């Protein structure tokens, strides 16, 4: 297992000479994210909104996040006030970290960001920030910078794979039996519906069976979390 410590500078100043202190952000709007047109959100629960999604390129264990609001004098009112944070290993299965509030930035190059949220070592490849409210009229929304610290293991150490999880009967209307190609199936599980919503979760220990009779007819994704590996398989419920 590789132990790593990485900080993602997801939005950063193009001229570091203007920032003598790494916790400060210059007032240039070109170094910031600003959305003035709502669009369809990658998370279907968020609908049309101001949002920004980061693809970290690999799967990482995420921890503390620091965010800088818009501190340009002309755009500070467009800075986000409340926002949601979602994260995912796959784009069709989102988890919500929570709803957070960010103070309005001082319009100064000496402005320093806030550590508003922490992923507490959750694994993810994608991070989605959605603005709920701003300090202005809501026509635009943005912030200057986001940093996410990572530690632990990278994608080289975590395998997220399909088709190593076997579900039968499939389709089912009562109970599904779980088996794995490499035998070891003891793990926590989550079941998501076709909209990416978490429907059920629990532990699979000795009896590798999951009750699905209460689920409406439809397509679902079963995900098993094992040490440094996440495996998943789709199944269908038909009544």
For residue 27, what are its two tokens? 């007032």
CB of 239 closer than 8 Å to CB of 197? no
Instruction: Kindly give the confidence (pLDDT) of every residue in the chain, 239 residues in length, as a single tens digit, with 9 standing for 90 and above.
Output: 333 334 444 543 333 323 333 444 555 566 678 899 899 998 989 989 999 988 776 677 888 998 988 888 888 899 999 999 999 887 778 999 999 999 988 776 667 778 999 998 888 878 999 999 999 999 999 998 888 887 644 444 444 444 567 888 889 999 998 887 655 567 788 888 877 788 888 887 756 888 899 999 988 888 887 665 677 788 899 98
For residue 42, what are its two tokens? 């990658």
CATH number of the 159-237 domain: 2.60.40.3080
| Amino acid 4: pLDDT | 36
CATH number of the 4-152 domain: 2.60.120.260
Q: Which helix (H) or strand (E) holds 183?
A: none
| Amino acid 164: pLDDT | 63
Please tell me the pTM assigned to this model.
0.58
Helix (H, G, I), strand (E, B) or coil at 30: helix
Residue 238 is given by DSSP the state -
Q: Does residue 2 have a cis peptide bond before it, meaning omega lies within 30 degrees of 0? A: no
- Tell me the domain boundaries of the chain: 4-152, 159-237
| Amino acid 80: pLDDT | 95
Distance from C-alpha of 110 to C-alpha of 223, rounded to nearest angstrom? 45
Q: Which helix (H) or strand (E) holds 188?
A: strand 187-193
């Amino acid at each position: 297992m590789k132990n790593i410590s990485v900080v993602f500078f997801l939005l950063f100043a193009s001229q570091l000479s203007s920032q003598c202190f790494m916790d400060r952000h210059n007032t240039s709007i070109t170094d910031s994210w600003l959305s003035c047109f709502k669009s369809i959100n990658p998370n279907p629960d968020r609908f049309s909104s101001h949002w920004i999604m980061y693809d970290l390129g690999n799967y990482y264990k995420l921890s503390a996040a620091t965010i800088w609001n818009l501190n340009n004098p002309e755009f500070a009112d467009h800075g986000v006030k409340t926002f949601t944070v979602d994260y995912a290993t796959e784009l069709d299965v989102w988890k919500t970290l929570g709803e957070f509030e960010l103070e309005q930035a001082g319009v100064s190059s000496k402005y320093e960001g806030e550590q508003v949220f922490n992923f507490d070592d959750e694994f993810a490849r994608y991070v989605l920030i959605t603005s709920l409210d701003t300090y202005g009229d809501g026509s635009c929304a943005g912030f200057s910078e986001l940093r996410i610290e990572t530690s632990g293991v990278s994608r080289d150490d975590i395998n997220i794979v399909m088709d190593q999880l076997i579900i039968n009967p499939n389709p089912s209307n009562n109970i599904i039996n779980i088996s794995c190609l490499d035998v070891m199936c003891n793990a926590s599980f989550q079941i998501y519906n076709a909209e990416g919503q978490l429907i059920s979760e629990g532990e699979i220990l000795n009896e590798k069976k999951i009750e699905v009779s209460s689920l409406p007819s439809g397509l679902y994704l079963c995900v098993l979390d094992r040490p440094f590996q996440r495996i998943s398989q789709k199944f269908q419920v038909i009544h």
